[in-house]
Amino acid sequence: MSDATPEVAPGFTGFQGAIEAIALGFPARFEGAASEAALREEKAKLLGKKGDLTFALKAMGALPPAERKAAGEQVNGLKGAIEAAFEGRLRAIAGEALARELSGPAYDLTLPPRVASPRGHKHPIGIVRDEIVDIFRSLGFAVHDGPEVEREDYNFTKLGFPPDHPATDMQDSFWTTSGHLLRTHTSNVQVRAMLGKVPPFAFVAPGTVYRRDNEDATHLPQFNQLEAFLVDRRVSFSHLRGVLAEFAERLYGPGTTIRLRPSYFPFVEPGAEVDVRCVFCKGSGCSTCKGTGFIEILGCGMIHPVVFENCGIDPQAWTGFALGMGLERIALLRYGIEDIRLLVENDPRFLSQFR
């Protein structure tokens, strides 16, 4: 070895001496590390930018060219041995920690936490849903439920949807390989109630629905609806309007004005869209209501005789009405939320506002 060989670390006299010292010393250094942090620190002292092996590599430049290949293979072999020993010791430390935990005293999971955790709170959709359900319960409606994976017959056919209706297209619905689909509205509950119950009855049915919509600030492929329907003898459109007026006042406050606009839905006749006087500008016109002074909140109508016939109910003896609304839309209007995606992103900064 030439006297010109650079010093590579305190106590090292050259490349070969450095390699031998590292090879002899690293097993004991790893075994002496009692924790993962200590073990990683020892590895850094060997392989880090200022580690022993890094300093030893600098000495390779002073070796004759004919010896550098063998020296490189020696360094690579030593590095591999260090890495393998590190992984083995890391697993051993983890095993020792697990053994200590298992053999230690048991945790009493019934003890209260030392630091009180923040209390949970309802989601804005849950708040709106429960409030609306309570309103209809107070008006005499009972809660009815139905499946989210539904037969086409209950989701479309019995509700009077024509076979070529756009809502039955694959682009609007999620279909399964068995021929079922994820319900596109909670109106399937109306069908199931009519098939399984004897009139008179009045039900409210909240639930999740699915449509193949592109996600944006006002649309989601999964959202929440609430259906309410009543079947009895001699039910008229006046009864429907009375329920709507009472519902609007209880939801938005006394004196809330509503208006009904003619509209088409396959399962009602006549059908209408229901608007309430804008809760933001009080009817004077603003960007939210697009200057009209009113905001649309739901669709409704008298249950179509074809629906009664499809469900085995005599439309000459019984009449009824149905109404449905999107809960996300109600929540957006209630809380002044501009982007519907905030309701599903579960950002704690957003949700904490609804404690």
What phi and psi, each to the nearest 5 degrees, are found at residue 224?
A: -120, 135
Could you tell me if 202 and 140 are in contact, meaning their C-beta atoms sit under 8 angstroms apart?
Answer: yes
**What type of residue sits at position 36?**
E
User: Given a cut of 50, is residue 16 above it in pLDDT?
Assistant: yes
**For the segment 154-196, what is each residue's pLDDT rounded down to a tens digit?**
999 899 887 766 666 655 888 888 889 999 999 999 999 999 9
**3-state DSSP helix/strand/coil % of the chain, to nearest 5:** 45, 15, 40
CA distance readout (Å), 187 to 31, 71, 182, 342: 69, 79, 12, 26
Give the whole-angstrom CA distance, residue 75 versus residue 69.
10
Residues 196, 197, 202, 203, CA torsion sign: negative
Helices (H), 152-236: 152-155, 187-196
Identify which has the larger pLDDT, 252 or 232: 232
Closest CA to 345 of 123, 174, 129: 123
**What type of residue sits at position 302?**
M
Bridge partners, 272 (sequence order): 262, 300
Tokens of 36: 């993962």
Please give the pLDDT value at position 348.
Answer: 84
| Residue recorded with tokens 């890495």 | 83
The set of long-range contacts for 197-201, using a CB threshold of 8 Å and a minimum separation of 24, is 199/231, 199/232, 199/233, 199/313, 199/318, 199/320, 200/230, 200/231, 200/232, 200/233, 200/318, 201/142, 201/230, 201/231
Would the pTM of this model clear 0.85, i.e. be above it?
no
Closest CA to 239 of 226, 250, 230, 252: 230
Q: Centre a 10 Å sphere on the Cβ of residue 83 and count the other Cβ atoms it contains.
A: 13
Closest CA to 157 of 311, 271, 323, 316: 311
Tokens of 15: 């490349």
Across residues 22-48, what is the average pLDDT? 89
Helices (H), the chain: 15-31, 36-47, 52-58, 65-103, 124-138, 152-155, 187-196, 237-252, 305-310, 327-335, 348-351
User: Given a cut of 70, is residue 353 above it in pLDDT?
Assistant: yes
Closest CA to 183 of 200, 162, 201, 158: 158
Please give the pLDDT value at position 135.
Answer: 96
Please give the pLDDT value at position 139.
Answer: 95
Q: Which of left, alpha, beta for 291 (phi over 0: left; psi -120 to 50: alpha)? A: left
Q: Which residues contact 163 (CB under 8 A, 6 or more apart)?
A: none
**For the segment 204-214, what is each residue's pLDDT rounded down to a tens digit?**
999 999 988 77
3-state secondary structure of 7: coil
Could you tell me if 250 and 135 are in contact, meaning their C-beta atoms sit under 8 angstroms apart?
Answer: yes
User: Given a cut of 80, is residue 103 above it in pLDDT?
Assistant: yes
User: Given a cut of 70, is residue 7 above it in pLDDT?
Assistant: no
**What type of residue sits at position 35?**
S
Domain layout of the chain by residue ranges? 15-103, 124-354
Confidence band, pLDDT 50/70/90 cuts, at residue 14:
low
**For the segment 300-340, what is each residue's pLDDT rounded down to a tens digit?**
999 999 999 999 999 999 999 999 999 998 988 888 787 88
Give the whole-angstrom CA distance, residue 267 versus residue 159.
5
Give the whole-angstrom CA distance, residue 320 versus residue 324.
14
- The segment with the largest mean pLDDT, out of 269-278, 286-295, 342-351, is 269-278
Across residues 80-95, what is the average pLDDT? 91
Topology (CATH) of 124-354? BirA Bifunctional Protein; domain 2 (3.30.930)
Q: Which residues contact 139 (CB under 8 A, 6 or more apart)?
A: 202, 243, 246, 247
